[in-house]
């Protein structure tokens, strides 16, 4: 197959959402937990993504919003855990993979580890052309909004200072903190932005690829920064680079990126998580 003909080929479109608003029961292997975003209702919400683990409906799904602060600790789940839940098609989001989870329905199941049992589910999803995923998102209304991309060469991880929340994000935080909590008198801590944003630079396997630069929206990227609070910028960069390049993209790892785009800017894909089984 000629790699340069990527725009002539299209990978199959994700299934359309079913009509109606009836909750659908599904099993999902969670592969992505994105960094939390400010929410006026919950303080923060998280986008979770994964692949359907019910055999009749393969494909990626996005579950939003989920708020981990208010999930009972028994209901909390992690990456590479299979969860069962009910979800309704997210009608305000045109991306076909997007569902709105019924939070009270989430039941955590088996946690897959180490990499071998995860690979059984995920290796078939690996694609080698980010250029094609980008082209589809530009040209097709039914294009995929989530994918697992194997880079040919990761050239850099670059950092910039986080500019702080936007006025709209700050307004949500202020509103959340100001709400009286009658039933649950916990102290409401405002969500802090991470110190740094990171962006991967890489090339995909498309012969004509001119390179991709995508922001890192992985929760782990923010958590590591929280653990390094008080350290110098240089030390923090070094630790982030150590984990997100030195470890996750080591030569003995068959690294791929979970990428996803934005509902309002379908051309903008970010790295939501890193898949790094051993070669």
Residue 229, token pair as written in the block: 């609070």
Closest separation between CB of residue 155 and Zn ion, Å?
A: 12
The secondary structure of residue 41, as a DSSP letter, is: T
Asked if 131 is part of the footprint of Zn ion (rule: CB under 5 A), the reply reads yes
Asked if 136 is part of the footprint of Zn ion (rule: CB under 5 A), the reply reads no
Contact set for Zn ion, span 36-95 (CB under 5 A) = none
When binding is defined by CB under 5 A, the residue of 66, 87, 146, 204 that contacts Zn ion is: 204
Closest separation between CB of residue 140 and Zn ion, Å?
A: 17
The secondary structure of residue 278, as a DSSP letter, is: B
Long-range contacts of 225-230 (CB under 8 A, 24+ apart): 225/194, 225/195, 225/196, 226/194
Asked if 147 is part of the footprint of Zn ion (rule: CB under 5 A), the reply reads no
Closest separation between CB of residue 5 and Zn ion, Å?
A: 14
Asked if 256 is part of the footprint of Zn ion (rule: CB under 5 A), the reply reads no
Sheet holding 126-127, edge to edge: 126-127, 146-149, 256-261, 269-275
Contact region for Zn ion (CB under 5 A) — 31-39, 93-101, 147-155, 204-212? Answer: 204-212
Query: Considering beta carbons, is residue 52 or 212 the nearer one to Zn ion?
Result: 212
Query: Considering beta carbons, is residue 45 or 261 the nearer one to Zn ion?
Result: 261
Which single residue brings its beta carbon nearest to Zn ion?
209
When binding is defined by CB under 5 A, the residue of 32, 35, 147, 209 that contacts Zn ion is: 209
Three-state SS for 95-130 is CCCEEEECHHHCEEEEECCCHHHHHHHHHHHEECCH
User: Interface with Zn ion by CB under 5 A: which residues?
Assistant: 130-131, 204, 206, 209
């Amino acid at each position: 197959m000629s790699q340069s003909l990527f725009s002539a080929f299209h990978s199959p479109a994700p299934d359309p959402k079913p009509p109606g608003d009836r909750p659908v029961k599904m099993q999902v292997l969670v592969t992505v937990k994105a960094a939390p975003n400010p929410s006026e209702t919950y303080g923060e919400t998280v986008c979770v993504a994964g692949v359907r683990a019910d055999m009749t409906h393969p494909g990626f799904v996005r579950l939003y919003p989920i708020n981990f602060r208010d999930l009972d600790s028994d209901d909390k789940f992690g990456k590479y855990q299979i969860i069962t839940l009910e979800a309704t098609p997210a009608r305000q989001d045109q991306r076909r993979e997007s569902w709105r989870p019924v939070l009270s329905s989430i039941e955590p199941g088996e946690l897959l580890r180490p990499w071998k049992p995860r690979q059984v589910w995920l290796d078939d999803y690996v694609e080698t052309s980010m250029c094609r995923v980008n082209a589809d998102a530009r040209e097709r209304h039914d294009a995929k909004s989530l994918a697992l991309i194997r880079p040919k060469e990761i050239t850099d991880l670059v950092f910039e200072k986080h500019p702080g929340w936007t006025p709209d994000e700050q307004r949500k935080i202020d509103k959340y903190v100001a709400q009286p909590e009658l039933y649950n008198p916990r102290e409401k801590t405002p969500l802090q932005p991470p110190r740094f944003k990171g962006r991967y630079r890489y090339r995909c396997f498309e012969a004509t690829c001119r390179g991709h630069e995508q922001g890192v929206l992985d929760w782990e990227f923010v958590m590591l920064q929280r653990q390094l609070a008080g350290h110098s910028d240089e030390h923090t960069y070094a630790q982030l680079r150590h984990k997100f390049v030195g470890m996750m993209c080591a030569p003995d790892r068959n690294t791929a990126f979970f990428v996803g785009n934005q509902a309002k800017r379908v051309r903008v894909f970010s790295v939501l998580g890193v898949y790094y089984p051993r070669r």
